[in-house]
Every structure is written in structure tokens, then in C-alpha cells.
Amino acid sequence: MLLAIDMGNTQTALGLFDADELVRSWRMPTDRTFTADEIHVRLLGYLRMYGLTLECVDEIAFAGVVPQLTREWRAFAQRIAARSIAVGADTAAVTCIHAPHPEEVGADRIANAVAAEKLYGAPSIVVDFGTATNIDVVDSDGYYIGGAIAPGLRISMDALVARAARIASIPLETPPHAIGRTTEEAVQSGAVLGTAAMVEGLVSRIRAELGAPEARVIATGGLANIVADSTNVFDVVDGQLTLKGICEIARRMRDRVPHTA
């Protein structure tokens, strides 16, 4: 089976695939101090929760923004004799990117674009709610062509709490009104509804630039459901989109370069 890994700045998502089927998924903190030994122990624990063993993993595919952790995951893959693939320059032959500097495009954005085109068609727009709010655009030919990057919802909230002495930590929830009746509701309106309004505005502009008013819009990422409750701009909410894109890229690489033990 394939273990797909989406290493974000804050959280790491893991998905275990049997062919194209996602059979198990987990999330854990992205800790830059993790070694291959720590990864070994963590993964072994997750698998044992479902009666699985490391022997079921014969391939590991990464999309990561933390180079030192990618190295440790590669070392772990070598330890268990699993084939390893890192989304990026090594997989450029099976992904479609039209950008001035393709090497600068984040691996998670490449995976999102691949999954969006395969599962939901082109043109399409992916909004990924993580540490940053990334908007990834796939044109009518199925190519990733760029997008937008904004501070993430939780980063914005954390910065507000840190800088505003009288605002305590407030839960990230959709408020009942745009006009907040209390301080908590007012902050939630600004953060959650404000993020939704930003996405609506950017999606409208992107659709206009694409000349594709019906381009599908897919939400993903750890905070997608919170914002999706506040807007009707999304056609689909797929929390596992990035993992599915990683799986698809690995499949394309496997078909292109036969694996030999």
C-alpha cells in the first residue's frame, strides 16, 4: 500500500491508500525535531490502532514544505525498504505546470492541482485552508498556472490575540450574524466571515481572468469546513484532496518508471 504524506508547517496529514482508495488517514503535529526513529514509533502506533503493520507499506510519497523532515521520512522509507517519491522536481514529468519558476511551486499546491483536475475537471480553483490560505488555479487545459497566498485563518486569529490585550483566545466558529453582538461574535465575524468574503472576492476575480465563470471551486485543508459553513462559493469540500493528489502523482510515476526491488 501507499502512504501519502502532506507535510504542512503546522500539521502533517497521512493517508494510507490501497490502489486509489484511501483506507485510513491521520493527522499529527509537524515537529521539525522528529527523527526517523520518532517517525517509526509514531507510524507504528497509528497502524496498530487498526490492526495493521509496517509490512503493508511498500511505497511512501511526500509533499512537504519542511526539507529536514523530508530527509527523515526518506531515511525511514529506506529503513523499511519502501520506495519513496517526493513531489516536486523529481515528478515534473507527470505534472502539468505553467509558471515562470516551476521549481518555486509548493509540492502541496502541485498535488492539489493534480487532484482537482483528475477528480473535478478543469478549469478549477482549489482553496486550501492551512497555515496559509492558498488558492491554486488550474486552467482549462489542466495546467496549474498560479494563484494566491494569504495568511491563514488561525495565524490571523493568533496575531490578533497576541496584539490586542483585551481580546482573549476565541474559538474559530461561524458567528450567527455578520454584525457581532458581542466581542467574541465580532472577532468571529471578522475572522471567519472575513476569510469567506476574501475567498469569494478572489474566486470572482480569478473566474473573470480565466474567462470561466463556471470554474469549479474546491475547499480543502484543516479549516475548510469552518469557512465552508459561511459561504456558498464552494462546489465541493474535500478534506483529503492533497493526499489524493499525492497518490495520483505516485501512481503516474509508478506507471512511468517500473519499480524493481
The burial of 155, by beta-carbon neighbours within 10 Å (0-12 exposed, 13-18 middle, 19 or more buried), is given as middle
Q: Are 5 and 73 in contact (CB under 8 A)?
A: yes
Residue 4 is assigned to a ligand binding site: no
Q: How far, CA to CA in Å, does 227 sit from each of 89, 91, 179, 194, 251? A: 32, 32, 17, 9, 32
Q: Are 111 and 203 in contact (CB under 8 A)?
A: no
Residue 6 is assigned to a ligand binding site: yes
Residue 9 is assigned to a ligand binding site: yes
Residue 12 is assigned to a ligand binding site: yes
Which residues have CB under 8 Å from 250's CB, separation 6+?
2, 4, 59, 61, 85
Residue 197 is assigned to a ligand binding site: no
Residue 7 is assigned to a ligand binding site: yes
Q: What stretches of 11-129 show up as alpha helix (H) in DSSP?
A: 36-48, 67-79, 107-120
Residue 106 is assigned to a ligand binding site: yes
Residue 134 is assigned to a ligand binding site: no
Cell, residue 229: 459553513
Residue 30 is assigned to a ligand binding site: no
Place of cell 486509489: 20
Candidate list 18, 108, 136, 141, residue with the active-site label: 108
Centroid of chain to Cα 87: 13
Place of cell 496498530: 48
Residue 136 is assigned to a ligand binding site: no
Residue 128 is assigned to a ligand binding site: yes
Spatial CA neighbour of 261 closest among 59, 2, 54, 31: 59
Residue 109 is assigned to a ligand binding site: yes
Residue 11 is assigned to a ligand binding site: yes
Local structure of residue 189 (DSSP, 8 states):
I
Residue 248 region by backbone torsions, left for phi larger than 0, else alpha for psi between -120 and 50, else beta: alpha
229 is catalytic: no
Active site residues per annotation: 108
Q: Residue ranges for the binding site for K(+)?
A: 128
Q: Residue ranges for the binding site?
A: 6-13, 106-109, 128, 131, 183
Q: Residue ranges for the binding site for ATP?
A: 6-13, 131
Q: Residue ranges for the binding site for substrate?
A: 106-109, 183
